[in-house]
Structure 1
Amino acid sequence: MKSPARTFLFLSQVYAPDPAAVGQHLADAAEELVRRGHRVIVYTSLRGYDDPSASFPRNETRGGVDIRRVPFSSFGKSSIAVRLLGGFLFVFQVVLRAAFQKGIDAVVVSTSPPVGALGGVFLSAIHRAPLKYWVMDVNPDQTVALGRMAPSSLLVRAFELMNRTVLRRAQDVIVLDRFMALRMNRKVDVSKKMSVIPPWAAEEPSQVIDHEVNPFRRDHGLAGKVVVMYSGNHGPSNPLTTIIDAAKRITDDPRLVLLFIGGGIGKGEVDRSVSDVVRSLPYQPRGQLRYSLAAADVHLVTVGDEIPGIVHPSKVYGAMAVERPILLVGPSENHVADLLAVDDIGWHVRHGDVAGAEIVLREILATNPEELRAKGRRARKVLEATGGRTAACARVCDVLGQGLPVDGR
């Protein structure tokens, strides 16, 4: 029996076409709910999350989703204070506007901004609608892990109180990996209403673009190069120093290119290191990802030592989707290490091991291109074994739609 049409209210400071992964995944889920016959209303920021100079239409419909953007809610990520100001202004405006929306059947909130979940609690109570909490990253844990705040600070304790309140009030909680599940359950045991659903690649092309016909490689002078690519957000949770220092040591093989694509507050380290070996590009449009991601020979994923369970390394799925092996720089215990343990799909180096990273880079340079492609094909198979993008998005939507009142509130 087909479920009745529902109205879902999404709150997120970031949403497509903003390139941030949180907004892209929310957009995929929202559009899938529309395809299932539901109505989805999204409140998001008028300005870009990483780049507040970018502006989007105040109101528009994308993929059948009703998107409403609010001003004065994103000022960039130059400091914690600036991010908090944007987050609180966003939540304040959205609660005022969405409180009067009629017929809301479920409130969906993620972790952008971190205080957004509190707005979800208020709107869930106002509309007497279930709260669905999709955890993409965990704060204040990230701020504490990076040494920016003390665990005993008043702001951290206030955030922890908010987290516990949201976890108790949520009807369902979605987390991205087993490490995040453990961390959230330590705050409040929500194991009975928790689903562990890893995210997915922005695209899973049916046919991978070969280097010889890839316009991205041609346009960026990558013919004959061995490209190790980092594509996505450059944040403090993804340290890059080890691999950059290792690449600088390889001066005897001009084929190596360490290509960084994206933005974020960590991009400065890359830009200061730009050379014939280290190159830097901005975020690429979503429609061009099949070309830019496939331009790599190997994809770089970094995970900070204190970050497992706090930030999920979602960029790994785009690499696997285009059949590219993975070079992981990070601790022994993290989600990407779990994936590497499934099959021979890449390499693993610890942070600080510059000599080890250099050895791996030289091994990549010496590896037959066909063997690199074989590793990449195995990576795609590991991804497909989970059902891939379609199955993961469908599972999220199943959770968002389950347990809603049948005969109204």
Structure 2
Amino acid sequence: MKRKLLVYAHYFYPDVASTGQILTELCEGLQEEFDITVICVVPSYDGKVESRYKRKRIHREDYKGMHLLRVRVPEFQKKNKISRVKNILAYFFNAIIATFSAGKQDVVFSISQPPILGGVLGVIGKKLKRAKYIYNIQDFNPEQTEAVGYSKSRFILNFARGLDKYSCKKADTVVIVGRDMKRTLETRFQGQDVPSNIVINNWIDEKQIYPLPAENPQIVSFKEQYELNDKFVFMCSGNIGLYYDLENIIKVIGEFKHEEDVVFAFVGDGIMKQTLVDYVQENGLDNVKFIPYQDKEDLIYSLNAADAHLVTNAKGIKGISVPSKIYGVMASGKSVLGVLEEGSEARLLIENSNCGKCVCPGDYASIKSTIAEIIKNKASFKKMGAQGRKTIEDKLKKDTSIDRYAEMLNLK
């Protein structure tokens, strides 16, 4: 008989949150070995909730043989803190209620989303189900909040850190997604026993994202639709959020406004998007384009439409978070301009595979000079991307990471 696995996913298919996609693929990969129940929100990543999901507290669904308990949450606006907090708290309390409907479980698995509360949910699930508990930290909080100054209350920050440390201590294994994050976990527990932990990289499905020729009809169509034809395309694909310093990097990009054969394309959405849009409009940056999120099946075409990809983190994010977009960029065989701290996981991936160039966050003069150098040497820079694809195939395949999860879960 299969062992039973309860997953607190927050977001899950069809929501486009990167953690939702990772957890959807992880659960799909573990299905043969586990009977899986997922507790997640009703589809709502864009802040909207369909009317059919507003009627009941818990909606039971099946997805590829998995049991989904989707919990009701209120609609929210990404820039409105109060509405976001209400949404998150609704998920937290409704997920606890849904746990009572989940039956017997052998293993509980939660992630660090929503911040702090994701870990607490796992601890509650462990106690209610008397099960083993695996805590997957995608982002360390409140460290991430501190790094960008989103909250400066020492009381709140210290309380949140203490709560997340408690979740780590109660976990049978803490899974972290970058080598640099291991040091952060150790720093949290200086002078104390560090919880059992393992580093397992995130991934992209390399069978769905791979290099395509420029003349591919869908790529040609994508470029025509968004006026990228006959341009050297710098692309930033994914969440346009708080932790990437894009509100300052856009000012550097603005210094290339007269490069008529170069275009900077932002594909996706997020809390900082309107800030970028406003800057572009106010400063007449005609070679900056904003493109909506692409459906998962179309991501291969948008990623391949770029000549170079921009992968960034704000200063201070090293060891706290790994931008998961790096895996899709490398899988598509495209070169990378990384604005990343030395020793951070994403920068190590770029440097070790030699698939691009890196500069440090906050060093805007170097960002500008590196963009200028790339524009000057377009052909040679584009060739570097093939090394990223090779690294994915040799070391970072999706099944490699999922097999490591399966092995870890089965040992417990």
Task: Work out whether the TM-score is over 0.5.
Answer: yes
The aligned counterpart of 2:122 is: 120
Whether the 8 Å CA contact 1:74–1:87 is kept in 2: the answer is no
Q: Secondary structure at 1:184's aligned position in 2?
A: helix
- 2:276 corresponds, among 255, 258, 270, to 270
Deviations 1:157-209 (A, max 9, x none): 32222212211111111001122111122224675621101101255447522
Query: Are residue 9 (structure 1) and residue 6 (structure 2) matched?
Result: yes
Which of the residues 336, 352, 376 maps onto 1:366?
376
Separation of aligned partners in 2, 1:74 and 1:169 = 32
Whether 1:231 aligns to 2:246 is no
Distance 1:146 1:242, change over 3 A: closer
Structure 2 residue 375 is the aligned partner of structure 1 residue 379: no
Matched residue of 1:237: which SS?
Answer: helix
Asked if the contact 2:7–2:37 (Cα under 8 Å) also holds between the matched residues in 1, the reply is yes
Match of 2:405 among 381, 396, 403: 396
Q: Deviations over 1:259-281 (max 9, x none)?
A: 00111111122212153211111
Q: Offset of 1:251 from its aligned partner?
A: 4.0
Quote the offset at 1:242 in angstroms. Answer: 4.4
Deviations 1:285-342 (A, max 9, x none): 1110110111110110111111112221111110000000110113333222212321
Within a 5 Å distance, the mapping from 1:91-240 to structure 2 comes to 91-114=92-115, 115-150=117-152, 152-153=154-155, 155-188=156-189, 193-205=196-208, 207-213=210-216, 214=219, 215-240=221-246
Distance (Å, rounded) in 2 between the aligned partners of 1:190 and 1:112: 24
C-alpha contact 2:238 2:269 (8 A) present in aligned 1: yes
Distance 2:194 2:398 in 1: 24
- Paired positions, count: 396
SS of the equivalent of 2:134 reads strand
Contact 2:209 2:300 survives alignment (8 Å): no
Conserved? CA contact 1:242–1:351, under 8 Å: no
Displacement of 1:375 after TM fit?
0.5
1:311/1:73 CA distance change after superposition, 3 Å: farther
Q: What's 2:303 paired with?
A: 293
Q: Which one is further off, 21-30 or 183-192?
A: 183-192
Shift in CA distance, 190/230, structure 1 to aligned 2, threshold 3 Å: farther
CA contact (8 A) 2:147 2:315 kept: no
Indicate conservation of the 8 Å contact 2:111/2:135, yes or no: yes
On the 8 A contact 2:30/2:402 being kept in 1, the answer is: no
Q: Give the AA of the match of 2:377.
A: T
Q: Matches of 1:378 and 1:177 in 2, distance apart?
A: 20
User: Which residue is equivalent to 1:72?
Assistant: 73
Quick check: 72-81 or 214-223, which moved more? Answer: 72-81
Rounded Cα–Cα distance in structure 2 between residues aligned with 1:222 and 1:212: 13
| Separation in structure 1 between the aligned mates of residue 326 and residue 398 of structure 2, nearest angstrom | 13
Residues 235-258 of structure 1 show CA distances to partners (whole Å, capped at 9, x for unaligned) of 111011443223222244311111
CA distance in 2 between partners of 1:354 and 1:145 (Å): 18
Q: Secondary structure at the match of 1:385?
A: helix
Please state whether the residue corresponding to 2:337 is helix, strand or coil.
Answer: strand
On the 8 A contact 1:211/1:217 being kept in 2, the answer is no
1:406 maps to what in 2?
none
In the alignment, what sits opposite 1:349? 359
User: In the aligned structure 1, how far is the partner of 2:368 from the partner of 2:119?
Assistant: 43
Residues 121-171 of structure 1 show CA distances to partners (whole Å, capped at 9, x for unaligned) of 112111111111111111111112221223622x22322222122111111
Long gaps (5+) in structure 2: 54-58
1:29·1:393 contact (CA, 8 Å) conserved in 2? yes
Do the aligned residues in 2 keep the contact of 1:343 with 1:378 (CA within 8 Å)?
yes
Cα distance in structure 1, aligned partners of 2:82 and 2:121: 19
Secondary structure at 2:384's aligned position in 1? Answer: helix
Label 1:91 to 1:190 Cα distance change in 2 as closer, same or farther (>3 A). farther
Paired residue type of 2:41:
S
One-letter amino acid of the counterpart of residue 308, structure 1? K
Of the structure 1 ranges 336-345 and 11-20, higher mean CA displacement relative to structure 2 is found in 336-345
CA distance in 2, matches of 1:253, 1:246: 13
Q: Give, in angstroms, the shift of residue 47 of structure 1.
A: 4.1
Q: 3-state SS of the aligned residue for 1:360?
A: helix
1:44 to 27, 40, 57: 40
Closer/same/farther in 2, CA of residues 103 and 304 from structure 1, 3 Å limit = same
Moved more, 158-167 or 196-205: 196-205
Q: Is the CA contact (8 Å cut-off) linking 1:325 and 1:376 kept in structure 2?
A: yes
**Secondary structure of 2:48's match?**
coil
Task: Find the residue that maps to 2:7 and give its secondary structure.
Answer: strand
* Alpha-carbon distance between aligned partners in 1 of 2:299 and 2:251, rounded to the nearest angstrom: 27
Contact 2:322 2:346 in 1 (8 A): no
TM-score by length of 1: 0.90
Asked if the contact 2:151–2:157 (Cα under 8 Å) also holds between the matched residues in 1, the reply is yes
Moved more, 75-84 or 359-368: 75-84
Alignment-mate amino acid for residue 195 of structure 1: I
Tell me what 1:61 maps to: 62
Unpaired runs of 5+ residues, structure 1, are 404-409
1:341 is aligned with what amino acid?
E
Separation in 2, partners of 1:87, 1:251: 40
Structure 2 residue aligned with 1:407: none
CA change 1:343–1:312 in 2 (3 A) is: closer
